[in-house]
Amino acid sequence: MTRLRVGLIGVGKHGQRYARHIRDDLTAEVQLVGLARRDAAKAAELAAEFGCRAYTDYRELIAAPDLDAVIVVVPPTLHREIVVAAAEFGRAILLEKPAAVSLAMGRDLLALTRPKNVPVMVAQTLRYNAVVHTIRQALPSIGAIHSVRVSQRFEQSPLAWIDDPAVSGGGMALHTGVHMFDLIRVLTGLEAARVSCEMTRVVTQRTEDNFSAVIAMHGGRVLASAVGSRATQSRCGGIEVAGERAQLAGDHVLRRAYRIEGTTMTPLEIAPATQTVPDVVRDFAAALRAGRAMPIPLEEGLRAVAIADACYRASAAGRAAAVEAI
């Protein structure tokens, strides 16, 4: 395999971001064979822009003989049917997060792909952020971790489907929460045991756009919290990690990172900002070419979904909920 031949399913705003990066940044590694969008005129227009074939039926794109893999950038309620079709043809899959809308759906995806050894990677792009990388590199300097707090706050989504649970499958706790839940797992090296969570609606009508979760990690020592808001005219992405010797604090949106010992705050050197989407696609393609395991396999994405799933159960019941195994 030289260049990875991919099909792009879903070419909205975020899907077009993938297409641009493949065209502009990944030409040596990835070839965009075709894209699928239900609007025929728009599909043709975008295919001409990105130099590939246009499809209105993703099944026809998946069946194309000159295809190695698909990149799926659609509302997560559609993931199952697309994974079924891709698995039938043995296509590797790069799946946008959230990997599933529920743990039950996630288990179904595993049952569909594992028996056929279909490689699946989940695009947990926050792992590729330069501030996140800096904080991860500094973790050994603070000693044993016992507390983590992460937050993401930003503007109301302009996408109407986000507030339609039949399409989105959930609100802020699912769509943005999985970034934070995955980050907590990565920073602590632990799995979540149980969750307490409150959710409210500030601007939205049918799905939550404001939530706060407290997560007890396995082992009984580490507590984490995740706070999300999609109802402010501002942006931030806070990260705080407390260890026995010192703390780390930063913001992956505002590009800040510090080590705190006593009352002394020392700035950490952050690598130049990079685009996380091409980094994800590059890792996906490299793993397939080398025959290696996926860098972020489906199981990893689903462990974040399992925490979101527990958040919804905890919020509905008004008490802590166990995080179920995938």
Is residue 3's pLDDT more than 60?
Answer: yes
d(CA 274, CA 321): 37
Tell me, yes or no, whether 75 and 116 share the same domain: yes
Tell me, yes or no, whether 167 and 314 share the same domain: yes
pLDDT of residue 274: 86
Is residue 107's pLDDT more than 90?
Answer: yes
**pLDDT confidence tier of residue 1, bands split at 50, 70 and 90:** low
Tell me, yes or no, whether 172 and 76 share the same domain: no
Residue 90 inside a domain? The answer is yes
Contact 307, 177 (CB under 8 A): yes
pLDDT of residue 159: 86
Tell me, yes or no, whether 185 and 317 share the same domain: yes
Q: For the chain, what percent of residues have pLDDT higher than 90?
A: 98
**DSSP-assigned states of every residue in 10-35:** --SHHHHHHHHHHHHH-TTTEEEEEE
CATH number for the domain spanning 241: value is 3.30.360.10
The domain total for the chain is 2
Q: For the chain, what percent of residues have pLDDT higher than 70?
A: 100
Tokens of 295: 């860098």
Contact 175, 251 (CB under 8 A): no
Tell me, yes or no, whether 203 and 59 share the same domain: no
Is residue 319's pLDDT more than 80?
Answer: yes
Which residue, among 97, 93, 47, 46, has the nearest Cα to 67 in the 3D structure? 93
Residue 116 inside a domain? The answer is yes
Enter the pTM of the model. 0.96
Tell me, yes or no, whether 259 and 190 share the same domain: yes
For 222-264, write each residue's pLDDT tens digit: 999 999 999 999 999 999 999 999 999 999 999 999 999 999 9
Residue 299 burial (CB < 10 Å; 0-12/13-18/19+)?
middle
Tell me, yes or no, whether 209 and 231 share the same domain: yes
DSSP 8-class letter at 282: H
CATH number for the domain spanning 49: value is 3.40.50.720
Tell me, yes or no, whether 266 and 155 share the same domain: yes
pLDDT of residue 323: 99
Contact 143, 243 (CB under 8 A): yes
DSSP 8-class letter at 74: S
pLDDT of residue 273: 87
pLDDT of residue 2: 85
Tell me the pLDDT of the chain averaged across its residues.
Answer: 97
Please compute the mean of the pLDDT values over residues 137-158 and round it to a whole number. Answer: 97
Please compute the mean of the pLDDT values over residues 104-122 and round it to a whole number. Answer: 97
pLDDT of residue 179: 98
Range of the structural domain that residue 34 is part of: 4-125+276-281
